[in-house]
């Protein structure tokens, strides 16, 4: 009897670009990919932070290089990626949240959020995919979206709008690029404890609301996202595209 075999979760000989890799979820994704064997390009705006993370990667013996870049600067993204070899894996964790009641949203804040979360994500995905298509190579592209791409949230109208848009473009891109063997997905976390989310966790009312919504009874940690990243990057998810992997503790199960 011939038994099936589990597809490999390994990423040896693959090149991965992680945007927003200097801290938080992006850093966790970069570590997960490197542990699975990928050569990882760490990208974020601050070169000093990237150099610090890269040194820690090198101490582990992992393949790494850095790419200082602002994802919201679409011209810079285009030029930077044109000057480098293509990437087999993309994880875009660059994102911004500015919370306020919808009735008082500042137009400048709206533009800052959508320029990075939606416009920047769109053109980063496009540039990576174009190179793969030109070279006839498959790939796995993912954006760190949010459970808020599937529900609404208090004082989060702009953030929700930006992430709902990411889900829509992910589906459309998956349809367009599927014939080229390029998969496009999102990871949608619940509230994850990172330095950027500490203001939310410092608010007792917000913490009570979060704990009421998460069915597993705890908030998320960066480690909760790492396995999902390797799964979507690897051959283990070879038939997964155009969808969202919700890592939300059951928030959206209602």
- The set of catalytic residues is 159
Helix (H, G, I), strand (E, B) or coil at 141: strand
* CA angle, residues 137, 10, 35, in degrees to nearest 5: 115
Longest dimension (CA), the chain: 66
Classify 208 in phi/psi space as left (phi over 0), alpha (psi -120 to 50) or beta: alpha
Q: What are phi and psi of 23, to 5 degrees?
A: -165, 170
In angstroms, the CA 12 to CA 170 distance is 26
| Full DSSP string of 153-164 | -TT-HHHHHHHH
Strand partners of residue 187: 144, 245
Q: What are phi and psi of 41, to 5 degrees?
A: -95, 115
Q: What are phi and psi of 157, to 5 degrees?
A: -60, -45
């Amino acid at each position: 009897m011939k038994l099936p075999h589990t597809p490999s979760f390994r990423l040896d000989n693959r090149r991965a670009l992680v945007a927003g890799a200097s801290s938080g979820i992006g850093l966790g994704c970069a570590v997960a990919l490197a542990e699975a064997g990928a050569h990882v390009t760490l990208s974020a705006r601050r070169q000093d932070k990237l150099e610090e993370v890269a040194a820690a990667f090198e101490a582990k013996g992992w393949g790494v290089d850095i790419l200082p870049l602002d994802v919201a600067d679409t011209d810079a993204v285009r030029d930077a990626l044109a000057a480098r070899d293509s990437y087999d894996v993309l994880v875009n964790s660059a994102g911004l949240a500015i919370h306020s009641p919808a009735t008082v949203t500042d137009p400048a804040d709206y533009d800052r959020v959508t320029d990075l979360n939606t416009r920047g994500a769109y053109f980063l995905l496009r540039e990576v995919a174009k190179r793969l298509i030109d070279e006839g190579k498959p790939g796995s592209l993912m954006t760190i979206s949010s459970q808020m791409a599937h529900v609404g949230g208090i004082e989060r109208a702009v953030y929700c709008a930006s992430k709902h848009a990411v889900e829509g473009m992910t589906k459309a891109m998956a349809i367009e690029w599927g014939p080229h063997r390029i998969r496009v997905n999102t990871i949608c976390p619940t509230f994850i404890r990172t330095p950027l989310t500490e203001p939310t966790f410092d608010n007792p009312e917000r913490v009570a609301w979060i704990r009421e919504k998460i069915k597993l009874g705890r908030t998320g940690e960066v480690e909760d996202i790492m396995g999902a990243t390797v799964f979507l990057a690897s051959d283990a998810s070879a038939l997964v595209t155009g969808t969202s992997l919700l890592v939300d503790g059951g928030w959206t199960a209602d």
